[in-house]
A and B are shown apart, each in its own frame.
Chain A
Amino acid sequence: NAGVTQTPKFQVLKTGQSMTLQCAQDMNHEYMSWYRQDPGMGLRLIHYSVGAGITDQGEVPNGYNVSRSTTEDFPLRLLSAAPSQTSVYFCASRRGSGNQPQHFGDGTRLSIL
């Protein structure tokens, strides 16, 4: 019963490098989201998707790209990492209807030097 799986759990990058944070869910959820968590700021929405082929921007989308080619996968790409992107990143998924809660992955701690 995997739920939402995020990889990697930790990553250190140099400024200007690119990388992709992976997220996969096995619950056939329509909705998937990426959040970043910074001290004193709670969770802020980066991008989200309401289904395969459909993505939209959240509150803090700059510097990040996403795609949703399948229901299961929702990768987050940093094209040119900046120190301001040092954060903990969470992927979440849920069903679209009703009072369904978000199911979260275990998070990725990303440090940009």
Chain B
Amino acid sequence: AQTVTQSQPEMSVQEAETVTLSCTYDTSESDYYLFWYKQPPSRQMILVIRQEAYKQQNATENRFSVNFQKAAKSFSLKISDSQLGDAAMYFCAYRSLGTGNQFYFGTGTSLTVIP
């Protein structure tokens, strides 16, 4: 099974500043999808951004962007102009294209935004 590693259990950022959350994964597959999900205290799981492995261009969604390094198996999330509402747990997820097309999640990074 694929493994997803988020090595930063906790991060903090000043409001309006930029923060990068790291994610690495282990796979022998050449094609797959990657996702970042946000989980605020309300417990909802909210999709932040997605990336197809076959695309070299990094995905962006407003203030959120990724740095996808396929050879290094790295998929970091950059949050620009951080806002108080960005405070949440962030999960990196890998979606296999193998049997069952399953999602594998990292252990999460808790992001605190300091006013």
Contact = CB atoms under 8 A, between A and B. Distances in A.
Interface string B47-76: 100101000000000000000000000000
Interface residues of A, number: 24
Contacts of A74: none
> Taking chain A's interface residues, is the majority helix, strand, or loop, or is none over half, making it mixed?
strand
Contact of A43 (B44, B50, B91): B91
A23 to B, nearest CB: 14
Interface of A: 31, 33, 35, 40-45, 48, 50, 56, 58-59, 88, 90, 92, 96, 99, 101-102, 104, 106-107
Interface of B: 1, 4, 6, 9, 33, 35, 42-45, 47, 50, 52, 91, 93, 95, 100-108
25 contacts: A33-B102, A33-B103, A41-B107, A42-B91, A43-B105, A45-B103, A48-B100, A48-B102, A50-B100, A50-B101, A56-B100, A59-B1, A88-B43, A90-B45, A92-B45, A99-B50, A99-B52, A102-B35, A102-B45, A102-B93, A102-B103, A104-B45, A106-B43, A106-B44, A107-B43
